[in-house]
Chains A and B, each alone.
Chain A
Amino acid sequence: MSPIPAPPKRALLSVIPIAVILFVLPLLIAPYQVTLLAYGLIFAIAALGFNLLLGYTGLLSFGHSAYFGMGAYAVAFIVKYLKITSMEVFLLGGVLASAAIAALFGFLCVRYTRIFFGILTLALSQVLWSLAFKFYWVTGGTDGLRVPTPSLLGVQNPAGEEKMTFLAHRYYYYVLVIFLVGAAVMWVIVHSPFGKALQAIRDNETRAEFVGVQVWRYRWVAFLVSGIYTGLAGALWVPLNGLTTPDILHWTFSGKIVFFTVLGGFQTFMGPVIGAVVYNYLETYAVGHTVYWQMVLGVVLVLLVLVLPAGIAGTAGRLLLKLRRAV
């Protein structure tokens, strides 16, 4: 008998309308808006993975750019050296590459917690950044590598079709399906005995060890899964962006992943997803409207930490609870 509980009815009931909206939305809004949403969903996949470490295992990584970038560069290398443009091969390559690097880095990092874990992940991710930056004959240096429109499920898109049309329709749905499956799998993971063990480690490492949880191994597997999700996001991101540059390997990109996870609220399952989508809109509009967009984001982050540490989802949840009690 599987000990994984069936999702509560109310949760399912709220998920279905959201999924329906996500499916219908491209018919209603402009193609550009759809691609923005696709970016948001891709970041949401990375955030789900990231939050397995931060929210469920209690480890703050400042080096998740490494796995996102590894997924992205793996795709770029597949195009450059193998001349393959199948999206499924991209995903496989991205996942394998990020899994390999996450397995290695995780092996090195999970012995540490708190601030040392953060700095070690940061330092290791910077190794990859500097390699991408310096080996320009392989990685294109700061010019990056271009990635063409891929074929989806073996179907080459018709010649003459505009890239925007492809991205805003077929590619969006491709991303959406992977996002929904990924979120469902993550839901199962965090509600499985494995997920419960991670939360036990987060809350009290010593007690978890005493009841027989192999802390080190559980953390390593969580790190691996987290890296794979982030790498998957990286692989999905490249065709959308059309280009991969060392920026996505830089530690400030890791900072962004932390940012949107906290923005949404890392103590809830859906929080990071909401945070990723909202953050993407926030950044896009800030960049579009002012050269001082970093300041806008910085002020939002500072206010968030000082005033709303529970993030969007956490705060909304609390407000709902209050409302329900008041009624």
Chain B
Amino acid sequence: MDVIVIHSLNSLLYASVLFLIAGGLSLIYGVMRIVNLAHGNLYAVGAYATAWTVGRVLGGGEPSLTLYLLLPVGAVAAAALGAIIEPTLLRPLYKRAEEYQLLITFGLLLILEDLLRFIWGPYPLSASSLFEALGSFSIGESVYPTYNLVVIVVGGIAAAALWAFIYKTKFGVILRATSQNMRMASALGVNVNRVYMQAFTLGCFMAGLGGAIIVPQQGAVLGMGVDALVPAFVVVVIGGLGSLEGALLGALMVGVVREFGIAFFPEVELAVLYFMAAVVLLIRPAGLFGRA
């Protein structure tokens, strides 16, 4: 029983981070029709920025509660980067074929990967003191780190906030209108360029937040962005490109399959995930919640 609880909590932990990455990816596709191959790298930027800031402020001392307020630094860093990338690199390409948009984000992936190496060096960064300071609690016979619950809660709050933002605010209405019909929105006086930039920045913010909240638990390493991208792809493919509900459901499905996969059939765990995505695409090309 304890084992099931722990696996379920781990599934939720992974799903929270995955939702933040995939949700941003899906949001960007939904509004801008761009599949951002560099999205995983923005998640890595969030992780590195937070780990570096926490390390700087902490020095050798004990973590205090205020230090946890520094977690969002990574999200802000990723958002700032997004706000620079969209107008400079992506905007010239909206009228060109999709192939070029994919290619430029692939180029961006290569650049960002080395930018992280350039700024923070080839060695992993860690913010594990934040993870350890919260201690652990017991589930039956086993112990479970309290910090993991923080990640799950933050993931849940982020999902709720995003839903409220998109469905309950004026900005959300404009965003959805632009997503449904860019020309019509533009004709009605929406500044499409600004909406695109805001959507891209928001998507990057979410990816950065994902990296920021997971870094105390896992640390920041080179290559984490590229590794995170494909599971995020699987999530949006299952849920439907452009659908946030889909991203949430997809993240939960992938979280559960991966966690129980690692526990019970570790050899084919990854293959099962990709296979799941392929099957969904074949049966419902637009994904479970997508519109074709």
Contact = CB atoms under 8 A, between A and B. Distances in A.
B231 to A, nearest CB: 10
Interface residues of B, number: 45
Contacts of A97: none
A292 B118 CA distance: 8
Nearest to B231: A126
A255 interface: yes
B113 interface: yes
Contacts of B277: 123
Interface in A242-294: 251-252, 255, 258-259, 262, 291-294
A135 B281 CA distance: 26
A213 interface: no
Interface string B91-125: 01100101110111011111111110110001000
A114 B98 contact: yes
Contact of B107 (A60, A114, A115, A301): A301
A298 B281 contact: no
Interface string B272-285: 01110110011001
A305 B110 contact: no
A125 B82 CA distance: 29
A306 B275 CA distance: 35
A177 interface: no
B115 A124 contact: no
Contacts of B118: 292, 295
B147 interface: no
A319 interface: no
Contacts of B117: 291-292
A108 B282 contact: yes
A89 B112 CA distance: 42
A298 B110 CA distance: 5
Contacts of A302: 89, 104, 107-108, 111
B99 A292 contact: no
B103 A116 contact: no
B274 A126 contact: yes
B230 A126 contact: yes
Given A119-B35, A123-B278, A298-B114, A130 B271 contact: yes
